[in-house]
Chains A and B, each alone.
Chain A
Amino acid sequence: MTALHTLTVQAMLEGLDGREFSAAELCEQTLDAIDAANPRLNAFITVTHDEARAQARAADEARARGEAGPLAGVPIALKDILLNRGVRTTAASRMLSNFVAPYDGAVVERLRTAGAVFVGKTNCDAFAMGSSNENSFFGPVDNPVVPGCTPGGSSGGSAAAVAAHLCGAAIGTDTGGSIRQPASHCGIVGLKPTYGRVSRFGVVAFASSLDQVGPMGKTVQDTARLLEVIAGHDPRDATSSRQPTEPWTEATRRGVDGLEGLRIGVPREYFVGGIEPDVEAAIRAAIDRLEVAGAELHEISLPHTEYAVATYYLLCTAEASSNLARYDGMRYGHRADGDDLLEVYARSRDEGFGDENKRRIMLGTYALSAGYYDAYYLRAQKVRTLIRRDFEQAFASVDAIVTPTSPSTAFPLGTRVEDPLAMYLSDIYTISCNLAGLPGMSLPCGVDGAGKPIGLQLLGRWFEEATLFRIGAAHEALAAPMRSTP
């Protein structure tokens, strides 16, 4: 029998439905693969062997009764920022290193109902703050495709787990590129849905107006299948949209034909230097392939692009400074001793948060302070509106936008830790999408001269993930993208 855990979700479901193998067998092989690879990769913070086996058994029983859910028996890895009841949820921080979630978040609930098998909680940057997964209290993750390099971040553990076949697919969160950039660096598919498409209930908040949960998979179709399960209105999240979900898997079936009649924009501001030559060449080649295959290309302008990084780092830090205030050592999480309340607060937070958390809390506190609010937070909100308008105008003439996901490929571990600004700039292509609330997808797009994966990013209109799936599937068919097994 082939190594079951290396299959796509689609192939897993076909095999399970065809009784070629059981969910229990698939689960065991996946757990074995995790146990073998994780000491080296550190992709998982917690591996939930028992829960996975119980869910796999339940999936087999459900399938035998003819009641299998849409993901029955599929091993899924959850970024350790999503709460699942009874399982430690650390946000990769010391602060929550002892926190056992007392409830299921909305996405976890939907996946559970769909029959998914939760194999574990994946590593990430603490509180999802970072672009390299090096800000984890539980140590960095190694890139399974290019050992010695970061897998990207913050959802680095999820990307590595998918790329190393330690799950069928994974769930990540994306605040400024945290699904797409690691997907790019690990050569997998990652989707950040439209803001509001997926409930944030039960997700440890980083920046509430930017955070979005999304799927990370080996193929476009796999991510479509996951989105079908996790999307939809949730009354527990006031920012959750009532837009109906769609049969997105269907949107991936047309392959190259899906490009018919589609107008794709190429923003000139995204190709102006700072981009690695191999990355630019690969993206341009992919764009050419899309055009040859029938897409209509347009050069477009997103004039406020240059302000996106500054805007993003004002807004996300402002929101984070408030969102992370609840971690005070009083009710749960890490608590240090102190002689008085102030000391307990200060020590608990000093010990519980990592450097990047503290940096962002301080930046955000500053941006919201009396006397600075108008100059920083309020102005950033105004620029955010302008960035959104850029996209509204662009989408009047194109159906999707294509860009690189990241200006560079995976960088060696430890090389950017001391230069936060350089780290922030690596998000340059991904953050506008969050500021505007758009859906964005990163697709494997070949490798550079050193064999490191390159990512192509697609941006779509609000709630038009279907367009991304169509183009993504076409790109996949055209590029025969890299499939890597470490």
Chain B
Amino acid sequence: MSTAQDWEIVIGLEVHAQLATQTKIFSRESAAYGAEPNSHVNEVCAGLPGVLPVLNRDAVELAMKAGYALGCDVHRWSQFDRKNYFYPDLPKGYQISQFTHPICTGGHVDYLLDGQVKRCNLTRIHMEEDAGKSTHVDAVSLVDLNRAGTPLIEIVSEPELRSAEEAAAYLRELRLILRTLEVCDGNMDEGSFRCDANVSVRRPGAPLGTRAEIKNINSFRFVLRAIDYEVARQIDVIESGGAVVQETRLFNSNTGRTSSMRGKEEAHDYRYFPDPDLPPLVIDEAWADRVAGSLPELPMARRLRYQETLGLSAYDADNLTAAAPVARFFEAALAAHPGNPKGVANWVLNDLMANVANPEEDLDALPITPDHLAQLVRLIDDQEINGKIAKTVFTRMLATGRPPAEICDEEGLRPISDPARIRPMLEQLLADNPSQVAGYRAGKLKLLGFFIGQAMQLTKGKADPNVTKDLLVAMLEGGEG
């Protein structure tokens, strides 16, 4: 019996990313998610007689952004084709897509896996409209056309991924890039970032094996499970003397299995041809230059900058970059307090993120602003408060949304560093603990820690520890009290 090590896994991914436009790709109807079924449906979305598609310029621009960010050739001339098939959630009986001349070809995704940068090349990116959504309840099928005509890009990778882990890491990085570009909200639950996987296995060095296309992978967890299951299944088929057949398989997240949806012989003949209703998409130089020149910093570049310029660890750099809002928050806070990147990073990654379940949605809703967090770090760095008080101030900031200095002042949280205020308190402390004073003076110098601890307790941590220590030493050794 051979093991999985004797097999090479070959994976190519097809990602459908919903473009974050206000309106649909070929009409002015709203593309918003989550509305009442069939409430975002105009005559164009419904495929009524006589309607015509008109391309949404914003959708093109987002596709261009993705293309430039991923290093693709963004073509000045591309074309839309009709993909013909019948289904009740496809109102026109064809989907408008790009087949022969997609907007982008080539390109790549560089992603991190176990601290290593890996590259997966892309075949193409094309634009298309989404279909509606079918729901099957008992004997009834319901169709919601709200999604019909939503703009998508399909990002097709070369079959260069060699494990489920690589596939998942590729997907995470791709999603992060699209979110950073604000091209796609990347929300897998709402179906705005979907993945199909082409999986095959082969003996190392052998030609590519027959692949199966796995559909319906709608979370990162399922990517790993679906691919692992499919790889094991294919190895099992081959080792049992069988052959993998080319087919489309559906992943069932309840069972963790894939099952055959349709075989090659049942594959549709989509009869692609150029859509005569849409002139070719021509991108002029000015438009191309403007979009290419407007890209934000991408995650990989940001990670490097955080390490090399800001001196952060690879671990922190990766965590700060893992979600676009976190990086945005960090950058804004750092801009307000540029002197201590590590301090700002720690507060963002530890204290702030501890209060955020989903950074994509929750971070911007927190009452703490980047500016306020920067002020907090500055208070610490300027030694106006210590780390312990800062934690208390942070909790108050989280509850109230007020600036840290205001909280310190109003709630009396600023440290006491004036010796004139500390000294009387220490005098009383020494008076109350004569035996410890005698012990110190007899040479038990460790008792200094006892006095400092008592002083802190009395002032609820507000007494400046250095001032307190100096005073105590002076008082104890000067024979006072």
Contact = CB atoms under 8 A, between A and B. Distances in A.
A326 B93 contact: yes
Contact of A369 (B53, B141, B269): B269
Contact of B93 (A83, A202, A328): A328
Interface stretch (A31-39, A70-78, A96-104, A409-417): A96-104
B229 interface: no
Interface in B297-341: none
Contacts of A484: none
Contact of A236 (B52, B275, B278): B52
Nearest to A364: B271
Contacts of A321: 84, 271
Interface in A179-226: 200-205, 207-209
A271 interface: no
B92 A102 contact: no
A444 B460 CA distance: 106
Interface in B269-289: 269, 271-273, 275-279
Contact of A238 (B53, B84, B269): B53
A313 to B, nearest CB: 15
A365 B271 contact: yes
B271 A201 contact: no
Given A209-B276, A369-B269, A328 B86 contact: yes
Contacts of B49: 83, 89, 91, 96, 99, 101, 204-205, 326
B238 interface: no
Contact of A318 (B43, B93, B94, B273): B273
A239 B271 contact: no
Nearest to A234: B52
A204 B50 contact: yes
A179 B309 CA distance: 72
A238 B47 contact: no
B19 interface: no
Interface string B49-81: 111111100000000000000000000000000
A328 B89 CA distance: 11
A91 B91 CA distance: 19
Interface string A329-354: 01110000000010001000000000
B88 interface: yes
Given A105-B50, A238-B52, A238-B277, A326 B92 contact: yes
Contacts of A368: 84, 271-273
A325 B50 contact: no
B46 interface: yes
A373 B84 contact: no
B479 to A, nearest CB: 94
Contacts of A207: 276
B25 to A, nearest CB: 12
A83 B279 CA distance: 24
B447 interface: no
A103 B52 CA distance: 13
A322 B278 CA distance: 14
Contacts of B88: 328, 330, 341
The 3 closest A-B pairs by CB, nearest first: A325-B93, A209-B276, A368-B271
Given A103-B48, A208-B275, A239-B276, 8 more contacts: A91-B49, A99-B49, A202-B50, A236-B52, A322-B94, A331-B47, A341-B88, A369-B271
17 contacts: A201-B50, A202-B50, A202-B51, A203-B50, A204-B50, A208-B276, A208-B277, A235-B54, A236-B52, A238-B279, A239-B52, A239-B279, A325-B92, A331-B47, A332-B48, A365-B271, A369-B269
